[in-house]
Amino acid sequence: MVEETRSTKPKFLRALSGEPVWPPPLWLMRQAGRYLPEYRAIRSQAASFLDFCYDPKSTVEATLQPIRRFGFDAAILFSDILVIPDALGQHVSFESGEGPRLTPISDEAGVTRLRETINLDRLYPVFETVSRLKQDLPKDTPLIGFCGAPWTVASYMIAGRGTPDQAPARLFAYRHPALFQRIIDRLVVASIDYLKRQIEAGVDAIQIFDTWAGVLPTGEFDRWCVSPIAAIVAGVKARYPAIPIIVFARGAGPRLLELKDATDADALGIDTSVDPDWAATLPKTTVLQGNLDPLALIAGGEALEEAVTRILAAFRHRPHIFNLGHGILPETPIAHVERLVELVRRDQPF
Ligand code: CP3
């Protein structure tokens, strides 16, 4: 009986629950997107990226495209982390070729203009997408829901755009710590509400993206990265204790240990800069996800083979989910993704 349950549970969820699985399950951050011609084709039909994100027909199709092509071991809901500020009433748009634009928050009036609670009705298309995907995905392909971590989302809300070093948000946090804390607290509550609804609609696991964690100095890292993520994990698990949660804090380096201790996350994403041999010394109870350099995937050839071999060797006897160390880039050749799938899966199960 136990054996049966075990063998029918998808590899991705087995690894997330702490079981070493060989070959490891594989999915790629940003696996749906511009490197796929079929994505570009449907994307070009939409008036704007946000319209696309709020159209379940488009988002279901975008989520399924990489699964059909590569048979990855997990699908990730197609959406964006900036739907949260949008649902808090901040103006959000995406300029083609330039990235996101938001009305920057520069003072208390900007914070006061935000809604107290997230408008979940505005996010209804996201939940609709999840329910439809539960019907359309292969039964053995789990669906990952996600949100951005408060620090990363706040960095866009303050600057109003992507910046190289998040200086506007870091300055804001130094100059107005109490006001910044209000934004972070609002995002913590909004994220918990949003993730709970994704779970109710059917996602099998959650990933929290803290893309810009690495720019924070120690004290700031605890306050703006670790504490809010710990609060989100606790808030979600208070209602749904069994939902697996992956935390990806890019640039955390050795502070990953702190993140592991302070949060009740089930797995840690490791970015490209983390040495797999160092990461492999972390307690085997820590499930790791990562960390192929997206540029090695663009380069292909020897560079790709060597990097994949190294990662597989380092994590062979521990629970590991094969992934990139950051999102796949639009320039990535499809043939290299096909080769990656072959390389990861060529070894027999142990
Ligand atoms: O992983 C997936 O396949 C699911 C989709 C997904 C998108 N964004 C689609 C997207 C996910 C998980 C995200 C997360 C996201 N969005 C993050 C965190 C992860 C990371 O990669 O760092 C961040 C920081 C954002 C904010 C964001 N969205 C930026 C900075 C940009 C513009 C930069 C760019 O790559 O163009 C986006 C737009 C965006 N989100 C696109 C896609 C496919 C490209 C827009 C388009 O197709 O026109």
Question: What's the whole-number average pLDDT of the chain?
Answer: 95
Q: For residues 191 and 187, what is the distance between their CA atoms, to the nearest angstrom?
A: 6
DSSP string, 74-97: -EE----TTHHHHHTT--EEEETT
Q: Whose CA is nearest to atom 36 of ligand 1?
A: 99
Helix axes 56-70, 124-136, angle to 10 degrees: 40
Q: Are 26 and 322 in contact (CB under 8 A)?
A: yes
Q: Are 252 and 279 in contact (CB under 8 A)?
A: no
- Mean of the pLDDT values across residues 55-84? 98
pLDDT at 347: 73
The closest of 136, 85, 119, 92 to 197, measured between CA atoms, is 119
User: Is 40 an active-site residue?
Assistant: no
- Mean of the pLDDT values across residues 85-108? 95
Q: Convert the pLDDT of each residue in 80-95 to its tens digit.
A: 999 999 999 999 999 8
Nearest atom of ligand 1 to the alpha carbon of 96: 48
pLDDT at 96: 82
Q: Are 43 and 94 in contact (CB under 8 A)?
A: no
CA 103 – ligand 1 centroid, Å:
19
Computed from CA positions of residues 167, 171, 173, 176, in that sequence, does the dihedral angle turn out positive or negative?
A: negative
pLDDT at 350: 57
pLDDT at 4: 46
Q: Convert the pLDDT of each residue in 244-280 to its tens digit.
A: 999 999 999 999 999 999 999 999 999 999 999 999 9
User: Is 115 an active-site residue?
Assistant: no
Pair of tokens at residue 202: 């059917």
162 lines ligand 1 (CB under 6 A): yes
Residue 197 pLDDT exceeds 60: yes
127 lines ligand 1 (CB under 6 A): no
Count of C-beta atoms within a 10 Å radius of residue 38: 15
Helix (H) or strand (E) holding 287: strand 287-292
Residue 208 pLDDT exceeds 90: yes
pLDDT at 277: 95
Q: Whose CA is nearest to atom 11 of ligand 1?
A: 80
Computed from CA positions of residues 192, 197, 202, 203, in that sequence, does the dihedral angle turn out positive or negative?
A: negative
- Mean of the pLDDT values across residues 207-236? 97
CATH architecture of 13-345: Alpha-Beta Barrel (3.20)
Grade residue 2 by pLDDT with cuts at 50, 70 and 90: very low
Percent of the chain with pLDDT over 90: 93
Q: Are 208 and 248 in contact (CB under 8 A)?
A: yes
Percent of the chain with pLDDT over 70: 97
Residue 6 pLDDT exceeds 70: no
Grade residue 8 by pLDDT with cuts at 50, 70 and 90: confident
| Domain parsing of the chain, residue ranges | 13-345
Q: For residues 23 and 350, what is the distance between their CA atoms, to the nearest angstrom?
A: 8
**Residue with structure tokens 């606790």?**
234
pLDDT at 97: 80
Nearest atom of ligand 1 to the alpha carbon of 97: 36
CA 29 – ligand 1 centroid, Å:
10
Q: Convert the pLDDT of each residue in 309-328 to its tens digit.
A: 999 999 998 999 999 999 99
33 lines ligand 1 (CB under 6 A): yes
Cα 43 → chain centroid: 21
